[in-house]
Amino acid sequence: MVATRQQLKNKREKDKKKAKKKEKNQDKLKDKLKVSSIPGVKYTGSGKDPAVNELLKKLKKDGAGSLDSSGMGSRWKV
């Protein structure tokens, strides 16, 4: 079986699209793995929930202490 020029061209384009998709998926996976670099945060979810993703972005940017917006987090009863 001999492939025509058009078939070869289509195969090359398809391979390029596959490579781009694989690279994009790997980048997403790397972003998920970066969550483990946030001190005090352990996340084992799927990463599909947009609210959780926004929370993780905030944690990565400001740290775990940024969640306490009440002002009562640093006070202890003595």
DSSP helix, strand, coil percent of the chain (3-state; round to 5):
65, 0, 35
Residue 25 within a domain: yes
- Is residue 20 a part of any domain in this protein? yes
Q: Is residue 49 part of a domain?
A: yes
Residue 29, domain extent: 13-38+45-58
**Residue 20 to residue 17: CA distance in whole angstroms:** 5
**17 in a structural domain:** yes
List, for residues 8-64, the tens digit of each pLDDT value.
999 999 999 999 988 887 777 666 656 666 777 777 777 778 888 888 888 878 777
Residue 68 domain-assigned?
Answer: no
Of the candidates 49, 21, 19, the residue with the CA atom closest to the CA atom of residue 35: 49
Question: How high is the pLDDT of residue 69?
Answer: 62
Does residue 71 sit within a domain? no
What DSSP string runs through 15-59? HHHHHHHHHHHHHHHHHHHGGGGSTT----S-S--HHHHHHHHHH
DSSP, res 67: G
What's the pLDDT at 14? 94
Say how many domains are in the chain. 1
Question: Has residue 24 been placed in a domain?
Answer: yes
